[in-house]
Chain A
C-alpha cells in the first residue's frame, strides 16, 4: 500500500515564523525604535570617549576663549564629513538613548548626534531603552559602539575596557577577570582579550606612555608590558618610540632573554650521539599540571611579584598553559635559579 502523503509548512517559512516570534518575545518592551527631536537629547558625560566638543559648541559656535578651542576646532572639522553624509542620507544606524526625565541621554551615538545638529537636522532616529540600562549593559553598548570606530585612542579603549570590567564586577560579583571571560563579554578574540588584560596590568612607565599617546598600538604595548626586566623594557620602549615594528621589538626581547640567562654549567657525562645543550622539560596533555607547577613556584616569596602575570591564563587551554609555562621558565632563568 502506498504511504499516506504528509503535509507540513515549509522549512523556510517555519524558520521565518519562529525567528519573528522570538524577536518580539525577546525584545518588545525592552526598547523601542523611534524618531526623537535633537533638542531633547543630551550627551553622556560618563561615556569614556573624550571628545572635547559638545552640543553647545555646535549650536552656538566654539568660543575663542575656550581653553580647548584648537582641539574642538579639529573635532569640528572631522564632524563636518559625517554631517555631509547625514545631510544627504540621514543616520544609517539609530543612536541609542535612555529616558532621563523629559530628556534622552545618549548611550551610543555622540558623533552622530553632533553631526546631525551640524547638518541642521531637527530629529534623529533613535533606539530608546525604556529604563536606564544597568551599569554593565550600558558600558557594554558603549563598548560595542566604540569598537566599530577607528579614531579611538588606545587609552580610550583601555578606559572602556576598565569601565566594562568594573561594571561587570558590580553586577555579577567580584570574579577574577580572565582573558576568556573578557573574550566572552566583549566578543574580542582571545589573543586580543589577553593583550588588553596584559596592558591593563602594565607597569606604570608603560601606562604613562599610553596615556600621553606615545604608545598607540595594542600589541606593541602588550609585548612591552609583559617584559619584566625594567632595563629590557626601557630598551623596548625606546625602540618602539623610534618606530620599530612588532617583529623587531620581539627580537629585542628574545636577544635580551638569551643575554640575561645565566648559563648553568652542568657536568657533561660522556655519552654517544649529539651533546645535550638544554633540558627537555617533557610534555603533558593536562594543563592543570602546569598550573600546579606554577602555583608551587609562585608560593615562594621571591616569585610572588609575578602572580599577576598568570592571572589572565585560562587553564582549560593547552596553548595558554604552554605559553604560561614558557613564561615561568623565562622568569626562573631571569631570577637565576640555582
Chain B
C-alpha cells in the first residue's frame, strides 16, 4: 500500500488542492481503491467530500457528519455516536471511513477539536500517543486489505500531527509557491524528512518525490525563485519537472454546487484538466512504478 502525503508547514501553498487532485486521480482515473485522510484541524479536505458540521462543543471547529452506515436503533451501534474521524486513532477507537461521490474513494475526515488535542499532547507522551498512531492504523490488516493507496492532507505545522504523517508515509510531496516564505516551509519539511529518514530501515525508505511548484504565475518573482532552486546541484534534482499554475478553476470546483465537481470530469482539452492530469500522472508514475 502506498501512503502519499502532501506537506509544507507554510499554509496556503495548495496542499489540499494537490491532495484532492491526487486522491481523485488515483481513484477515479486509475481506478485504484483509495483512502483520503484529512490530518489538518481546518478540515478543508474533508469538506470537499462530506458535509462537515459545526461542532457545538467547539464552535470554531468542524466535525464529521453522521455516518451513512450508522443506525441508532441497531444495538451494534449503541456505543457509537455515529460520527467517525481519523482522530479516533488517538483515542483507541476504530475509524470507519465514509464513502464519497467519487468512485473508489473512501474518506477519513478530520475532527478539529480532537486533532488539535493530539497536536497539543505533552512532549513526554507524544511519541506513544501521537507519533506512532497513524502508522499503527495504516498497517492494520483491514486498511491494507481495503485500499491500495492512501492520500493524506496535512496541517501547516511541524508539530506532532505532521510527524505522525511522516512516520506513516511511504512517499511525500512538498507543494510550494515560488516565494521566500513557502520555500522556508520546504526547509521545515526537509528537516522532518531528514529526521525520519535517519530512523528508517533501508528496506522501508521515506521517498521524497519532490518539490511541486504550485500556484505558479508567470512573474519574475516566481520564475527567478524556481530557477534558483533548479540551478542548485542538491535541491535541483528534487524540483519536479511539472507544475500547477494559478487557476481560479481549482478554487471554483471547491464549491459544493460546482459542476462538474472533479477536475477530471472537465472536457478533455480543458487546460486545467490537462495540467492536473500531467502532474498526477507524473507523481503516480514515480509512486506506483518506482518503489
Query: How many angstroms from the CA of A9 to the CA of B233 in the assembled complex?
Result: 14
Question: Hey, which chain A residues are within 8 Å of B199, CB to CB?
Answer: 32-34
From the candidates A7, A13, A31, A33, name the one contacting B224 in the complex (CB within 8 A): A7
Other-chain contact of A130, B190, B202, B225, B228 (Cβ < 8 Å): B202
Q: Is the CB of A17 within 8 A of B187?
A: yes
Q: Looking at the complex, which one of B184, B205, B225, B235 makes contact with A21 (CB distance below 8 Å)?
A: B235
Q: In the complex, which residues 1-57 of chain A have their Cβ closer than 8 Å to any Cβ of chain B?
A: 4-10, 13-14, 16-18, 20-25, 27-34
Q: A8-B224, A13-B184, A17-B183 are in contact. List 19 more A-B contacts (CB 8 A).
A: A7-B224, A8-B225, A9-B180, A9-B183, A9-B228, A13-B183, A13-B187, A16-B187, A17-B229, A18-B233, A20-B187, A20-B190, A20-B191, A24-B194, A24-B198, A28-B200, A28-B205, A31-B198, A33-B199
Which residues of chain A have C-beta atoms less than 8 A from B251's C-beta? Answer: none
Interface contact B225-A7, CB-CB below 8 Å? yes
Q: Mark out the residues of chain B between 191 and 223 whose CB falls within 8 Å of any chain A CB in the assembled complex.
A: 191, 193-194, 197-202, 205, 208, 220-221
The interface bits of chain B over 238-259 (1 if a CB of A lies within 8 angstroms of the residue's CB, else 0) are: 1000000000000000000000
The answer to whether A32 and B198 have CB atoms under 8 Å apart is: yes
Complex: A21 Cα to B183 Cα, angstroms: 14
Q: How far is the CA of A9 from the CA of B228 in the complex (A)?
A: 7
Q: State A130–B202 Cα separation when bound (angstroms).
A: 7
Chain B contact residues: over half helix, strand or loop, or mixed?
helix
Chain B contacts to A: CB under 8 angstroms: 180, 183-184, 186-187, 190-191, 193-194, 197-202, 205, 208, 220-221, 224-225, 228-229, 232-235, 238
Identify the 5 closest CB pairs spanning chains A and B, nearest first: A7-B224, A29-B202, A8-B228, A28-B197, A18-B234
State in angstroms the CA–CA spacing of A22 and B183 once bound together: 17
Query: How many contacting A-B pairs (Cβ < 8 A)?
Result: 78
With A4-B220, A5-B220, A33-B199: A14-B232 Cβ-Cβ less than 8 Å: yes
8 A-B pairs in the complex with CB atoms less than 8 angstroms apart? A9-B229, A10-B180, A13-B187, A17-B232, A18-B235, A24-B190, A24-B193, A32-B200
Q: In angstroms, how far is the closest chain A Cβ from the Cβ of B227? A: 8
A19 to chain B, nearest CB (A): 8
Residue total for A at the interface (Cβ-Cβ under 8 A): 27
- B-binding residues in A (CB < 8 A): 4-10, 13-14, 16-18, 20-25, 27-34, 130
A192 nearest CB across to chain B (Å) = 32
> In this complex, what residue of A is CB-closest to B229?
A9
How distant is the Cα of A31 from the Cα of B184 in the complex, in angstroms? Answer: 28
Across the two chains, which residue of chain B brings its CB closest to A131?
B202
Whether the Cβ atoms of B238 and A21 lie closer than 8 Å is: yes
Which residue of the partner chain B has the closest CB to A127? B198
- List chain B residues, Cβ under 8 A from A6: 220, 224
Residues of B within 8 A of A34 (CB): 199
Cross-chain contact B205 with A29 (CB below 8 angstroms) = yes
Complex Cα gap A18–B191 (Å): 11
CA distance A16 to B232 in the complex (A): 12
**Whole-angstrom distance from the CB of A20 to the nearest CB of chain B?**
4
| A128 nearest in chain B by CB position | B201
Cα–Cα distance between A49 and B190 once the two chains are bound (Å): 39
A9 neighbours in B (Cβ, 8 Å)? 180, 183, 225, 228-229
List A contacts of B232 (CB < 8 A). Answer: 14, 17-18
